[in-house]
Every structure is written in structure tokens, then in C-alpha cells.
Amino acid sequence: MTPKCPHCQHTLTRGQIARLLASLSAGRPKNFSEAERRRRRLRMQAINARRGLAGLTTGMQHRNLTHQNFTAAAIDDVIDRGGREPWARLLDSVDRSREIRERVLRVCAAHLADPRAQRYHFWNRYAAKTQAAS
């Protein structure tokens, strides 16, 4: 069974397979013609347009959780995988609500033993300082 192109799923010819194997074995990327580069660029632009990318934001809701209430699972997910906008919403909530501040401290306490969990260390310090100030 001959391999298929990962992009268009067409069966590769023997010549294409040979060129691909030669470029991989040499450790060099495949040299594409200008027409092929243009075609690939247009295809990626079409894919990005379909995805509706606006800048760097994904617009995804983490784990389909109710972030307005900031449950412990939602807080954990926002700290672990959140971007700038979810962090800003959590920051506002921590500043306004003592209950959410305590949830953040509980969620972070589970990760403080790991020195590489820098996001949790940051949020733990911020919530603790906010709690001491109020």
C-alpha cells in the first residue's frame, strides 16, 4: 500500500516518495516550488478563515464550564490553560469576591509542591496578597 499525502490525501507517486525519503534522510526540509508554496499559503489562509481566527484568541470556553460562577474546576482550567482574557476575568473576580479568592487559594494549594507550576504559584501569591489587603 503506497502512502498518502497528509494534506490532500492523494496517493503519492514513486517519485514523490523517493524525494520525500531523500529529503527526510538528509535532514533537510522538502524544497517546494514557488507555485507549491503559494498553493499551501492559500490553503492555510482558507483554513484560518474558516476557523474564524481573530488575532491570537481562540474564543474557546474552557471545558464547557460555567465561568461566570468560577467553580473550582473552572478556576483550575483557566489558570492552567487560560489566555489573557480568561485571566483578566478571573483577576476581576478575585478582586471583587472573597469566595472566589478562597477557591483560587484551594486550587493553587494542590499544585504548590511542584516548583514548575509557576502559574499556580503566581495566582496563589496574588490571591493571598489580595486577601491580606482586604
Helical segments of 27-115, H only: 34-51, 72-81, 84-96, 98-109
Q: Which of 95, 100, 98 is nearest to 68 (CA)?
A: 100
Residue 9 lies in a domain: no
Average pLDDT of the segment spanning 77-86: 87
Averaged pLDDT score across all residues of the chain: 80
Residue 127 lies in a domain: yes
- In a domain, residue 4? The reply is no
33 and 95 assigned to the same domain? no
> What are the tens digits of pLDDT across the range 94-121?
999 999 999 999 999 999 999 899 999 9
The answer to whether residue 101 sits within a structural domain is: yes
Higher pLDDT, 30 or 97: 97
What is the rounded distance in angstroms from the CA atom of residue 5 to the CA atom of residue 64?
34
Question: Do 89 and 29 share a structural domain?
Answer: no
Residues spanned by the domain of 40? 14-51
Sign of torsion over alpha carbons 70, 72, 74, 78 = positive
Is 72 in the same domain as 109? yes
pLDDT attached to residue 100? 92
Predicted local distance difference test score (pLDDT) of residue 70: 83
Q: Are residues 68 and 47 in the same domain?
A: no
The total of structural domains in the chain comes to 2
Q: Note whether 35 and 73 are same-domain residues.
A: no
Residue scoring higher pLDDT (62 or 75): 75
- Is the domain of 43 the same as that of 67? no
pLDDT for the residue numbered 19 = 80
The reported pLDDT for the residue numbered 111 is 93
pLDDT at 132 over 80: yes
Q: Which of 24, 51, 78 is the last residue of a domain?
A: 51
Model pTM greater than 0.75?
no
Q: How far is CA 16 from CA 2, 5, 12, 19, 57, in A?
A: 11, 10, 6, 5, 37
* Residues 35 and 93 placed together within one structural domain of the fold: no
